[in-house]
Each structure stands twice: as C-alpha cells, then as structure tokens.
Amino acid sequence: MGEVERKGACLIVGAGDGLGAAIAAAFAAEGLAVCLTRRPRHAEALKALAASLRATGASAHAYPLDAREEGEIVALVETIERDVGPLEVVVFNIGANVRFSLTQTTERVYRKVWEMAALAGFFAAREAARVMSPRGAGTILVTGATASVRGSAGFSAFAGAKHALRALAESAARELGPQGIHVAHIVIDGMIDGAFARSIRPDAAERLARQEILDPAEIARNYVFLHRQRRSAWTFEMDLRPFCEPW
C-alpha cells in the first residue's frame, strides 16, 4: 500500500483560550491539522484545548514552548513538517498588551514586550517562509491591534512592539507574495469577548449579544477567509472592529 496522504497543518503561535482557540477551531473545521503553542506555564490548558478539538474529530497537537526562543521555534517547525504535515498556515497571535506610563516602563518590561510581539513574530515568519517558499504556497497571518498603527498614552512598549510586528509583516508580504505566499496583518480594534473581558466588564455578555464587542468566532472566520483568498486579489491588511467602536 502507498503512503497515506498527510493533512496540511496550521500552526497557531499563541493559542490561548479566547481568540487563539477560536482560530484553531476554525482551521480545524477546514480540515487542517492544528498545531497549538503557548508558554509552558499554560501547558495543561493547551493540552485541554487540543483534546477538546480532537473530541470533535479534528487533528490537534499541543506544543508548549517559549516562542521567544529561536531554537524552540526552529525545532517545532521541523517537528510539524516531519510528523504532522506540510505547513499551509502559520498564525502569529501573541498579544503582549501591557499598560505603563513612559516613566514607569522599565527596560525589562520594554524588552519583554518587544521579544513577545516582535522577535517571536520574526522567528515564526522566518521559519514559515523557509518551508513554504520551496512549495510556492502558504499563508502567514499576523494578529495586530490598534497599537500597530497608532500609539496611545500608556502603551509605549506595546505600540513600539506592534509597530515593529506590522513592519515585519509588510516587508514579508512584499518579499514573499511573488513566491506565492500570502502574508496578511489583521488589526483587531476593540474588546474581544472571553474570560478576561468578562472579568473586567460585568456587562460583557450583554454587549456581545448586542454585537458591541468582538466575537472570537467571527474574527476567526475572517482568518480563514484570508487564507482562502485567491491570489489575484490578496488582502494585506484587514481591520476588524464592532460597528460601534470609534475610529
């Protein structure tokens, strides 16, 4: 008998229990094997997410790691390509949102936020490009924020890192697009429903029912849409916000 054809794989760097989980479910529903990463301290939650996806019939794998460590990302991509399937999609979804006044922002805070949002994004994009380029196909999706395009008081570290990540995505799109690799940056502007939102906003469920905050499943649908776009009309940047969010 011949070798069994392997599923294409989707790697989600930053698969938390909110947007990351929704993105994983959306790509699993498309028939891709989803590979989930999160920091080792969240290993049990990551494994639980993978198990819940497998319970629906999906192929899901948990890989606790520190995305800021170059060697760990290099090894992970090698593992996925060898053991799971060819990477069709890489989603970089690490948040790194912190709020400090400029004078209270320490070197450690600024460096850590930059490492999480910008350096880790570089490692993920580079390793994705290395395996996608020879095949002439693939999608790299980068989760941005309002801070990607506009700095605000109290967010100097976050805005600096997110601006850097957006610049990386734009440069990668110009370089990799002619090779058949779609790179897109998604600006998420507004509160996303989830455990954190509900912990700080008692009315979050009511606001979600009125569609006044972002629904993770709806965001995820747009990630799949970007992946499925035909290359005659690719989007580089998509802006997602509730209808009532100020511009």
pLDDT digits (tens, 9 = 90+) for 133-190: 999 999 999 999 998 988 888 888 899 999 999 999 999 999 999 999 999 999 998 8
pLDDT at 6 over 80: no
Q: Is residue 245 part of a domain?
A: no
User: Tell me, what's the pLDDT at 152?
Assistant: 86
Q: What's the CATH code of the domain at 127?
A: 3.40.50.720
Q: Does residue 230 belong to any structural domain of this protein?
A: yes
Q: What is the pLDDT of residues 218-244, one digit of tens each?
A: 999 999 999 999 999 999 999 999 998
How many helices, marked H, and strands, marked E, lie in the chain?
Answer: 9, 7
192 inside domain: yes
* Domain range for 110: 9-240
| Percent of all residues in the chain with a pLDDT value above 70, rounded to a whole number | 98
- Which one, of 200, 198, 223, lies nearest residue 19 by Cα? 223
Buried b (16+ CB within 10 A) or exposed e, 209-241: eeebbbbbeebbebbbebbeeeeeeeeebbebe
In a domain, 1, yes or no: no
Q: Report which of residues 17 and 85 the model is more confident about.
A: 85
Instruction: Provide the pLDDT for residue 5.
Output: 63
Residues 34, 50: Cα–Cα separation, whole Å: 8
The confidence score (pLDDT) of residue 3 equals 47
Q: Which H or E element spans position 132?
A: helix 120-132
pLDDT at 7 exceeding the cut of 90: no
Assigned domain for 2 exists: no
Alpha carbons 144 and 163: distance in angstroms, whole number: 9
Give tens-digit pLDDT for 111-139.
Answer: 999 999 999 999 999 999 999 999 999 99
Which band of pLDDT confidence, cut at 50, 70 and 90, is reported for residue 107? very high
> Is residue 207 in some structural domain?
yes
Summary mean pLDDT of the chain: 93
According to DSSP, the residues that pair with 37 across neighbouring strands are 13, 63
d(CA 117, CA 159): 10
In total, how many domains does the chain have?
A: 1
d(CA 169, CA 89): 14
